[in-house]
Structure 1
């Protein structure tokens, strides 16, 4: 584990969706340097096998370790479901946080909460990772899941508030009509881009929308504080991608709401 407080935090995702985590971390920890990697050449991960996802995730982990990071945040639900243990084995004592654990903890902190809804990629839903994570903490909670595979490509194209996005959300979220879910976990880091539209489609103002980006940012802050690794002098933000850097930068600046420096293409 790095004992250098000035070392960067490493964050990675299959594409641009993990920037929702990077944005939350930058807000919670404005003095931390962040290195973000988006695997834009191989997105989406949600339709790939667990074996393939693990291979990709470990390649990215090696890249982040080569950058001397002091912590790794898995900002991809599919990787969290498929490769979290393998990443932790490779990184040893280096803190590794994931969005599934953070999202679960935030959902269960809501009161009352005896029925949790989850939307995610096919891989995340099929793995039942959220269901397992929730039941590990409370076996009595009912979990209803819905795969939403089209939301990732819509988010990647910036189609988050048009008629196509609305109709797609309506179709996917209809499974929760007349349900008694207390909270809905956005089980993919692309999905917070649709956060404004989801409540009205759910036809309920009492369902809590769980954005694990906020939760993992808080966990990162608490972890670094406990390890006495908080940076007080940083704030740099670097982006690396495996393909399409100009397109990534265009969308990233839209999603982050600010300009970013050059996006560097990196072949793993």
Structure 2
């Protein structure tokens, strides 16, 4: 592993695998390591300090595995931990390493999807409370009105394999009704949680035809490709052996593999990563 310099991809659980899928499809040559902190998931309702502590610990683990670049493929971690990691932790750890999130690249383009200049952002309680999307989208598209909606039961539905069952419909419709009640002009809904693409079929079924549903995977992958094109010093460090390794902080790797294969749309075989 020491001879490799993979791209690290982190999530609090499984959802980041939907982003990893898009990244691997668009940038297939690189080596990758995925780390899911399933032992401490979900992060959505935890405090800023706790999320930062957990996220930074996992980022350091990926650094130790040889990753010079880590993607936080988790909206909650991006909202509550990324800034501190970038502005404080990396300076002390190693300024040559980089940690990127999913919120900024999404905010940079989401305004291009709306005709009415009104969008809904569907996310976890933590992401919504952070107001990160309100701030970032306003930076790039000040003319766009953002309506946030927390969907706290969507992640448990997905992680318990209930996302495609009839029982999920009530909670899908409930949160969609709540966000659409905030404005009749919303024509774009951003899935600001990496779990939510697994609910996209049900989400679309309960929406008027003119409302676009935008997941993040392809946006983040395109942004990473652009980043590597613009930062040759990082691109040249990364090794290209087409390898993919999966780690979980849960000691039940078989359970992780079962769920992860559903998110990644490919058979996954993971290893246990012990939290120190």
**Equivalent of 1:211 in 209, 215, 226:** 215
How far 1:248 sits from its partner (Å)? Answer: 0.9
Aligned length: 264
The residue number in structure 2 matching 1:118 is: 121
**8 Å CA contact retained: 2:4, 2:66:** no
TM-score (normalizing by structure 1): 0.92
- Out of 130-139 and 39-48, give the one that drifted further: 130-139
**1:194-246 residue CA offsets vs partner (Å, 9 max, x unmatched):** 112211212x2222222122111111112122233166842211111111321
**Equivalent of 1:222 in 222, 226, 229:** 226
SS of residue matched to 2:113: coil
Unpaired segments ≥5 residues, structure 2: none
The residue number in structure 2 matching 1:266 is: 274
Using the alignment, how far apart are the partners of 1:109 and 1:87 within structure 2?
29
The residue number in structure 2 matching 1:186 is: 191
**Equivalent of 1:239 in 234, 246, 250:** 246
How far 1:140 sits from its partner (Å)? Answer: 2.6
**8 Å CA contact retained: 1:7, 1:69:** yes
SS of residue matched to 1:172: helix
**CA 1:30–1:5: 2 relative to 1, 3 Å:** farther
Using the alignment, how far apart are the partners of 1:133 and 1:104 within structure 2?
6
**Equivalent of 1:165 in 155, 163, 168:** 168
Q: How does 1:34-53 map to 2 (within 5 A)?
A: 34-53=32-51
**Equivalent of 2:66 in 41, 65, 68:** 68
Using the alignment, how far apart are the partners of 1:84 and 1:7 within structure 2?
21
**CA 1:111–1:183: 2 relative to 1, 3 Å:** closer
The residue number in structure 2 matching 1:18 is: 16
**8 Å CA contact retained: 1:121, 1:148:** yes
How far 1:257 sits from its partner (Å)? Answer: 2.2
TM-score (normalizing by structure 2): 0.89
How far 1:5 sits from its partner (Å)? Answer: 11
**8 Å CA contact retained: 2:248, 2:270:** no
The residue number in structure 2 matching 1:200 is: 205
Large movers: runs of 4+ above 3 Å: 230-233
